[in-house]
Structure 1
Amino acid sequence: MGYPSHQNVVVMRHGDRLDNFEPMWVVQAKRPWDPPLVEAGRVRAFCTGRKLRDSLGFPIHRVFVSPFLRCVQTASEVASALCAVDIGFDATSSAGIALDPSKVKVSIEYGLCEMLNTEAIRQQSAPKDGNFDFNISELESMLPNGTVDSTVERVYKELPKWGETVQGSRSRYAEVIKALADKYPSENILLVTHGEGVGVSVSAFLKDVTVYEVEYCAYSELRRPISLDLQSFTAGDFSVRTKPGVTGVGFCSSLQVNGPVDDDFSV
């Protein structure tokens, strides 16, 4: 079997989160910092998974996902679409879909988590003791049976500390994207994360660009040349293959920006 000449990395935002549609949910929620998807978000996630399966032109081998519930639920729908044996033209969710779990492996990665600061998580919603209390076994049980690879060593062994800076979180996203790609150089990977992470996947690898919008389930596509042998690999720089606005990521040359740009797309 020949080695691939390129590696592809897709970075995707989660689907529609409940608290943006039902603001009072936060008041009664036990975990107000960790909203689930609304049903429309699940549908959007599954349909985006179908789109990735049908239009990328290459298979996804591994999925890495932020431990926040909305991301895990998104990854579950996307992985189901990627693993589906046969999808009817009218299918809009993973319900009742036969899967081949050997097609994709899924792992939770702390380094893909939301920015842990008040820019992304409202102060009143954050846990008072700084403990976000993620139950990894419970989250893994939400993913399609047979797809979970819990043996993967995480890039971030634990969550970043609460109060990280915006620039610190952006550096984290860029670091994790590259580290996961380097960890699996012979595989194409999908990272399910938050809006800020998708924005960084463009701005960190494309010079003088301002990202001003990341829609729910928007995604970017990165590619780099790679040369592998049995014991090592060499890789070139990532290029951004995403076109502005085509997959839900809005960006432009920083030279085109006149005045302030609202880039608060992390939630």
Structure 2
Amino acid sequence: MAQAGPPAGIVVLRHGRREDSMNPEWQQQARWPWDTPLCATETEIAEAVARMQGNGLTRFDVVYTSPFLRCLETAERILGALGCGDVPVLIHRGLSEVHNPGLLFKAHGRPTMAQRARLWLWRSTYPRHSRPVRERFGVKARLVRESAWPPLPESEFAAAQRYSQVIMQLAAKHAGQQVLVVSHGKAVQVAHEAMGCSGRVLQVSFAGFIACRAKPDRKSRDGGDSSRKGRDGKDASHKGPDGGRRSADGSQAPAVTRIWSGGRSGGGGVTWGSLELDPGMPYFMVDVIQGSSPDMM
């Protein structure tokens, strides 16, 4: 029987730099224009891994990824850089890109019948055409059988609810473990807002991430200041002159105010309210403006 409780830590990360950001003509020639691979010259993933390692995070127990190729390739590069090829990689359809026609097809309005048909073909043949990249992992990446594709079209609001629910469901399965979720920019924004962090996410850059951890239990909070220490045991709160927390690069870290974190349970008593920002590395390559209330949900 699986242990109940939140994971020790969970990192929600956006994929690395996509090919069409450097080569706009790629989509015009691609069979699946929405399923962009990573750019061969991207450097952001290595920077993200360096930030993790610099804060003592050198291994994950499990990786969940969006089915989109750029996310699988991001997970592959992260595990390769960390040297942990034996980590299980699970592909969850619920971590997919927002199914907005403007994002998938670069089109306005409702998707055409031709666009729907091409997307249906991509999704229905996914187990077969994704096999080569899935077999590149040390342990072949597997599809989460019970996961479902998002509807088309999908609103930003519906996608935010989907990400929030799916991430909590995954977190509840891995009590005491380190979990990596590789998805899309919206998922990182949702994680920030779901914990009730102050401020508003303006942009999530390629390979940007937010790092969460299980909130210390009452005993550890009452017995000392261990809740403010990083993985190396040192004080990692990075307080600035204004009293606010700062990340390791000196940028202002959001204060935790718990706006709507009480619900959206993933099972086993795990909710967004049972997590908090990791004070050692709250987020990386995520632009947050302070003094604004989240308005996404």
Scaled by the length of structure 1, the TM-score of the pair is: 0.74
Q: Hey, what's the Cα distance between the residues in 2 that align with 1:242 and 1:213?
A: 21
Question: Any idea what SS the aligned residue of 2:166 has?
Answer: helix
Q: Hey, what's the Cα distance between the residues in 2 that align with 1:177 and 1:17?
A: 23
In 2, are the aligned partners of 1:170 and 1:196 still within 8 Å (CA)?
Answer: yes
Q: Comparing 187-196 with 52-61, which one deviates more in the overlay?
A: 52-61
1:66 maps to which residue? Answer: 66
Unaligned runs of 5+ in 1: 85-99
Within 5 Å, give how 1:77-116 maps onto structure 2. Answer: 77-82=77-82, 84=83, 100-102=84-86, 104-116=87-99
In 1, are the aligned partners of 2:6 and 2:274 still within 8 Å (CA)?
Answer: no
Distance 1:246 1:193, change over 3 A: closer
Question: Any idea what SS the aligned residue of 1:45 has?
Answer: helix
1:95 maps to which residue? Answer: none
Q: Hey, what's the Cα distance between the residues in 2 that align with 1:32 and 1:242?
A: 39
Q: Hey, what's the Cα distance between the residues in 2 that align with 1:128 and 1:74?
A: 27
In 2, are the aligned partners of 1:4 and 1:186 still within 8 Å (CA)?
Answer: yes
In 2, are the aligned partners of 1:244 and 1:252 still within 8 Å (CA)?
Answer: no
2:183 maps to which residue? Answer: 193
Task: Give the CA deviation at 1:240.
Answer: 2.2
Q: Hey, what's the Cα distance between the residues in 2 that align with 1:251 and 1:179?
A: 26
Distance 1:149 1:23, change over 3 A: closer
Task: Give the CA deviation at 1:53.
Answer: 3.5
Distance 1:4 1:204, change over 3 A: closer
Unaligned runs of 5+ in 2: 218-266
Task: Give the CA deviation at 1:50.
Answer: 4.2
Question: Any idea what SS the aligned residue of 1:247 has?
Answer: strand
Query: What root-mean-square deviation, in Å, do the aligned CA atoms of Structure 1 and Structure 2 show?
Result: 3.3
2:138 maps to which residue? Answer: 146
Deviation per CA, 1:133-162: give whole Å up to 9, x if none: 142355354254433353x745x5221111
Matched, 1:238 2:238: no
1:136 to 127, 149, 152: 127
State which structure, 1 or 2, has the greater radius of gyration over its C-alpha atoms. Answer: 2
Q: Which amino acid aligns with 2:13?
A: M
Deviation per CA, 1:24-47: give whole Å up to 9, x if none: 222221111111111123x43244
Task: Give the CA deviation at 1:124.
Answer: 4.3
Distance 1:255 1:13, change over 3 A: closer
In 1, are the aligned partners of 2:63 and 2:181 still within 8 Å (CA)?
Answer: yes
Question: Any idea what SS the aligned residue of 1:39 has?
Answer: coil
Q: Which amino acid aligns with 1:179?
A: Q
Q: Which amino acid aligns with 2:149?
A: L
Question: Any idea what SS the aligned residue of 1:191 has?
Answer: strand
Q: Hey, what's the Cα distance between the residues in 2 that align with 1:124 and 1:193?
A: 22
Q: Which amino acid aligns with 1:111?
A: G
Q: Hey, what's the Cα distance between the residues in 2 that align with 1:147 and 1:47?
A: 25
Q: Hey, what's the Cα distance between the residues in 2 that align with 1:56 and 1:37?
A: 27
Q: Comparing 21-30 with 239-248, which one deviates more in the overlay?
A: 239-248
Task: Give the CA deviation at 1:173.
Answer: 0.6
Task: Give the CA deviation at 1:120.
Answer: 2.5
Q: Hey, what's the Cα distance between the residues in 1 that align with 2:6 and 2:33?
A: 45
In 1, are the aligned partners of 2:12 and 2:210 still within 8 Å (CA)?
Answer: yes
Percent identity of the aligned residues? 24
Q: Which amino acid aligns with 1:128?
A: R
1:172 maps to which residue? Answer: 162
Task: Give the CA deviation at 1:207.
Answer: 4.3
Within 5 Å, give how 1:46-61 maps onto structure 2. Answer: 46-57=46-57, 59-61=59-61
